[in-house]
């Protein structure tokens, strides 16, 4: 793992992702359930309230219709029957306390202001005795100015007036209608209905618990019926109550749809056939108190569910992550180079398949590491042999260089000697007379020259033999280098096999990642393991690339060594040719010196012929001087070639040392892998077997 990054386990990551999602889901579901429950409860409350107010309104309408129908029947009966005053009074008396809805019975009034009503058992004679005073009393009471009388003159059929307060202080309404008689007199039939029954319908027939109702006359905003009797007959807009004020505004603006007003769910319902408006309302908190209890239960249930799900998910994730953690530990140890571990996975799922693949990979890596260790030891041995051969070649080059330097010195001495001979021969030609005296000196000089020539010839032979030895050593070095090159080819092949295995492992990792992605949340752990295996494969590829790089460097070094060895062979061959030429030249020198020695001897014996012989000797001496100079030049070339040979030998030695160092570095890198365990050979055992 990279430094600086804090390790977070898969279990923590999964729980940190799943738990918030589960909590959010539970919260959302709880909120949705609460919202749906609230909507359902509100809808049920609204429907129940509407049903209640419609039922109340229907009962009021039925009560009004029933009474109105009864009055219409009475009106039709009066119109069809020709009653005289006594009969009419008897008919009217019959309706006194006949119906509790209109206990005072019915009454008739004409346009003259005369009133005929139920007497309640009083004698008709008493009423008839004072007709004028009764008429006067009717006029005084203003019958024709009464609201019910004026409304009755406007309709043929019976109808209801607006609510009003009668002389007894009761809230009543009148059913009235125009009544025609055969005498064409116009009468108004009327009956007062108490609103107590309406109040009962308004106050007692509320189907929803906690709800209340009141009846309002839309024309003048008068409250007709209410549980609070203190506000009956009062104007609703005059009440000091915010709710009533808002109701008044809505009635005035004709906004009679169901709404929540001042914390009360309110419903408006018109009573058909009248200007009455029935208002029913219930406090919102009473409607929502059950909802609040449901909300508290749902919150408690949500908390318990979150707690239970948290424990269950923690256990489930722990069970599923445990083999992943074991496999991760195996992969971490493999990353550290420890291939002694084993992956024991008993499951038959993706993790089990991954563990088996890791086990196969460990076995393959053990085998490859053992093989590479053997190759590394072989390469190191070959590098050591190459280093020994290069050391020997370097020593031989030093010996050759020293021999060539000695040869060069000898040739220089020989050149000086030949020069002296040439000068002596030239002087001999000029001083023939003194030849006899100098003959002994010349003879001794010639003897020295013969000895020097013999030594030079022997040195040249030794140089030739040394060159042969160097040539053989270089051939052995080239053979050893060829073996190293073959070993590097084997290493390259092995690293290719390792690279292919690493690539296959990487492909397996990618396939595992794809399968984990398909598995969704359950496969995220597998994706992490696959990623770790991919990283291990990439690490193996990197190691293989490093080995390839080292092998390529070794091959490059071997190539340079081969080139240097070829150059050395060519230079040695050239040096051998030059040395052979020098040997031939020394042979010629020796033969010439031997001839000179014979001539000098003859010169002593035959002084008479000294002049002619001296001329020949001078010519021969000049040739010898030229040959000596050529030999000296060749000797300089040989010295330069020897210096080049020793430099090349030193380069070969350094390259051999580099090869040895590379082999040791390869061995060190391979030593970082541990493959001991379960019968697998250790690195030391592999080296021993190699």
Query: What b/e string do you get for 564-603 counting C-beta neighbours within 10 Å, with b at 16 or more?
Result: bbeebbebbeebbebbeebbebbeebbebbeebbebbeeb
Neighbours of 378 (CB within 10 A): 18
Residue 230 has what pLDDT? Answer: 82
Spatial separation of the C-alpha atoms in residues 35 and 440, rounded to whole Å: 145
Residue 673 has what pLDDT? Answer: 64
- Taking the CA atoms of 548, 549, 554 and 560 in sequence, report the sign of the dihedral they define: positive
Q: How much of the chain, in percent, has pLDDT values that exceed 90?
A: 0
Look at residues 412, 482, 425 and name the one whose alpha carbon lies nearest to residue 452: 412
Spatial separation of the C-alpha atoms in residues 27 and 298, rounded to whole Å: 10
424: tokens are 């002596």
Spatial separation of the C-alpha atoms in residues 375 and 357, rounded to whole Å: 27
| For residues 186-210, average pLDDT | 81
Spatial separation of the C-alpha atoms in residues 366 and 224, rounded to whole Å: 104
Cβ-in-10-Å burial (0-12, 13-18, 19+) of 363 comes to: middle
On the question of pLDDT at 342 being above 80, the answer is: no
Spatial separation of the C-alpha atoms in residues 288 and 290, rounded to whole Å: 5
Cβ-in-10-Å burial (0-12, 13-18, 19+) of 333 comes to: middle
Spatial separation of the C-alpha atoms in residues 65 and 426, rounded to whole Å: 180
Rounded to the nearest angstrom, the gap between the alpha carbon of residue 319 and the centroid of all alpha carbons in its chain is 24
- pLDDT tens-digit series, residues 263-293: 888 889 888 878 888 898 888 887 777 777 8
pLDDT category of residue 670 using cuts at 50, 70 and 90: low
Look at residues 356, 346, 357 and name the one whose alpha carbon lies nearest to residue 323: 346
Neighbours of 563 (CB within 10 A): 11
Element (H, E) at 280: strand 276-283
- pLDDT tens-digit series, residues 88-131: 888 888 888 888 788 888 888 888 888 888 776 444 333 433 33
Residue 539 has what pLDDT? Answer: 79
Q: Decide if 350 contacts 358 (C-beta within 8 A).
A: no
- pLDDT tens-digit series, residues 512-537: 778 777 777 767 776 777 777 777 77
DSSP-assigned letters across all residues of 104-126: T-EEEEETT--EEE--SS--HHH
Residue 604 has what pLDDT? Answer: 65
Residue 220 has what pLDDT? Answer: 82
pTM above 0.85, yes or no: no
Name the 3-class secondary structure at 336.
coil
Residue 348 has what pLDDT? Answer: 73
Whole-number CA gyration radius for the chain: 70
Spatial separation of the C-alpha atoms in residues 459 and 406, rounded to whole Å: 8
pLDDT category of residue 501 using cuts at 50, 70 and 90: confident
Query: Residue written as tokens 């001991």?
Result: 676
On the question of pLDDT at 684 being above 50, the answer is: no
Q: Decide if 205 contacts 59 (C-beta within 8 A).
A: yes
Spatial separation of the C-alpha atoms in residues 249 and 268, rounded to whole Å: 13
Look at residues 455, 465, 468, 416 and name the one whose alpha carbon lies nearest to residue 586: 455
Name the 3-class secondary structure at 214.
strand
pLDDT category of residue 671 using cuts at 50, 70 and 90: low
Residue 223 has what pLDDT? Answer: 87
pLDDT category of residue 672 using cuts at 50, 70 and 90: low
Q: Decide if 265 contacts 282 (C-beta within 8 A).
A: yes
On the question of pLDDT at 22 being above 70, the answer is: yes
On the question of pLDDT at 179 being above 60, the answer is: yes
Rounded to the nearest angstrom, the gap between the alpha carbon of residue 234 and the centroid of all alpha carbons in its chain is 73
Q: Return the higher-pLDDT residue of 262 and 630.
A: 262
Spatial separation of the C-alpha atoms in residues 444 and 424, rounded to whole Å: 13
29, 30, 35, 200, 510 from 303: Cα distances, Å: 12, 10, 18, 49, 41
| For residues 409-427, average pLDDT | 69
16: tokens are 């940190």
Q: Decide if 396 contacts 470 (C-beta within 8 A).
A: yes
123: tokens are 């004698």
Spatial separation of the C-alpha atoms in residues 319 and 323, rounded to whole Å: 8
Residue 607 has what pLDDT? Answer: 57
Mean pLDDT of the residues in the chain: 74
Q: Return the higher-pLDDT residue of 164 and 207.
A: 164
Residue 71 has what pLDDT? Answer: 85
Neighbours of 495 (CB within 10 A): 22
Residue 628 has what pLDDT? Answer: 65
pLDDT category of residue 132 using cuts at 50, 70 and 90: very low
Residue 688 has what pLDDT? Answer: 33
pLDDT category of residue 344 using cuts at 50, 70 and 90: low
Sheet holding 264-270, edge to edge: 222-226, 212-217, 276-283, 264-270, 259-261
On the question of pLDDT at 681 being above 70, the answer is: no
Residue 687 has what pLDDT? Answer: 38
Look at residues 648, 637, 532 and name the one whose alpha carbon lies nearest to residue 585: 637
When mean pLDDT is compared across 125-139, 473-487, 652-666, the lowest value belongs to 125-139
Residue 138 has what pLDDT? Answer: 39
């Amino acid at each position: 793992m990279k430094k600086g990054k804090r390790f977070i386990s898969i279990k923590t990551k999964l729980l940190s992702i799943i738990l918030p999602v589960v909590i959010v889901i539970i919260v959302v579901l709880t909120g949705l359930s609460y919202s749906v429950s609230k909507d359902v409860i509100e809808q049920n409350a609204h429907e129940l309230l509407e049903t209640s107010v419609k039922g109340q309104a229907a009962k009021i309408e039925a009560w009004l219709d029933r009474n109105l129908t009864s009055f219409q029947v009475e009106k039709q009966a009066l119109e069809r029957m020709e009653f005289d005053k006594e009969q009419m009074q008897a008919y009217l008396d019959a309706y006194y306390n006949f119906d509790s809805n209109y206990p005072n019975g019915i009454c008739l009034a004409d346009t003259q202001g005369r009133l005929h009503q139920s007497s309640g058992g009083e004698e008709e004679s008493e009423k008839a005795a004072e007709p004028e005073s009764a008429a006067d009393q009717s006029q005084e009471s203003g019958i024709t100015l009464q609201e019910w009388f004026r409304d009755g003159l406007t309709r043929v059929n019976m109808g209801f007036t607006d609510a009003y307060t009668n002389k007894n202080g009761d809230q009543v309404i009148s059913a009235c209608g125009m009544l025609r008689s055969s005498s064409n007199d116009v009468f108004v039939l009327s009956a007062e209905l108490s609103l107590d029954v309406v109040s009962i319908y308004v106050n007692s027939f509320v189907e929803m618990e906690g709800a209340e109702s009141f009846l309002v006359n839309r024309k003048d905003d008068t409250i007709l019926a209410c549980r609070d009797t203190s506000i009956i007959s009062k104007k609703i807009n005059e009440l000091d109550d915010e709710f009533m004020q808002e109701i008044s505004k809505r009635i005035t603006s004709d906004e009679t749809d169901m709404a929540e007003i001042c914390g009360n769910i309110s419903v408006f319902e018109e009573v058909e056939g009248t200007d009455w408006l029935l208002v029913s309302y219930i406090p919102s908190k009473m409607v929502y108190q059950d909802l609040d209890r449901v909300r508290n239960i749902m919150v408690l249930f949500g908390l318990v569910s979150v707690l239970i799900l948290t424990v269950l998910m923690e256990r489930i994730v722990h069970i599923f992550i445990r083999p992943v953690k074991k496999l991760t530990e195996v992969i971490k140890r493999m990353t550290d180079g420890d291939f002694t571990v084993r992956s024991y996975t008993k499951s038959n799922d993706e993790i089990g398949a991954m563990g088996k693949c890791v086990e196969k990979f460990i076995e393959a890596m053990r085998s490859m590491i053992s093989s590479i260790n053997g190759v590394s030891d072989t390469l190191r041995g070959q590098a050591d042999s190459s280093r020994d051969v290069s050391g020997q070649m370097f020593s031989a080059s030093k010996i050759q260089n020293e021999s060539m330097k000695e040869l060069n010195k000898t040739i220089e001495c020989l050149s000086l000697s030949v020069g002296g001979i040439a000068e002596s021969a030239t002087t001999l030609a000029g001083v023939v007379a003194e030849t006899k005296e100098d003959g002994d000196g010349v003879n001794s000089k010639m003897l020295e020259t013969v000895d020097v020539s013999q030594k030079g010839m022997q040195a040249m032979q030794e140089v030739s033999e040394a060159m042969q030895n160097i040539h053989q050593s270089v051939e052995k070095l080239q053979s050893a280098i060829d073996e190293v090159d073959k070993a590097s080819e084997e290493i390259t092949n092995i690293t290719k096999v390792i690279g292919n295995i690493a690539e296959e492992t990487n492909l397996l990792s990618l396939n595992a990642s794809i399968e984990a992605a398909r598995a969704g949340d359950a496969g995220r752990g597998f994706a992490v393991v696959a990623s770790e295996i991919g990283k291990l494969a990439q690490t193996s590829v990197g190691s293989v690339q490093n080995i390839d790089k080292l092998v390529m460097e070794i091959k490059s070094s071997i190539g340079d060594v081969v080139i240097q060895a070829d150059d050395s062979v060519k230079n040695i061959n050239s040096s051998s040719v030059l040395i052979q030429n020098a040997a031939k030249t020394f042979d010629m020198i020796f033969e010439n010196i031997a001839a000179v020695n014979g001539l000098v001897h003859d010169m002593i014996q035959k002084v008479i012929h000294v002049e002619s012989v001296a001329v020949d000797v001078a010519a021969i001496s000049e040739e010898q001087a030229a040959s000596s100079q050529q030999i000296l030049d060749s000797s300089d070339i040989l010295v330069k070639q020897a210096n080049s040979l020793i430099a090349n030998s030193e380069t070969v030695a350094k390259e051999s040392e580099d090869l040895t160092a590379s082999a040791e570095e390869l061995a060190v890198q391979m030593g970082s892998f541990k493959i001991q365990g379960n019968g697998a050979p250790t690195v030391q055992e592999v080296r021993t077997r190699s």
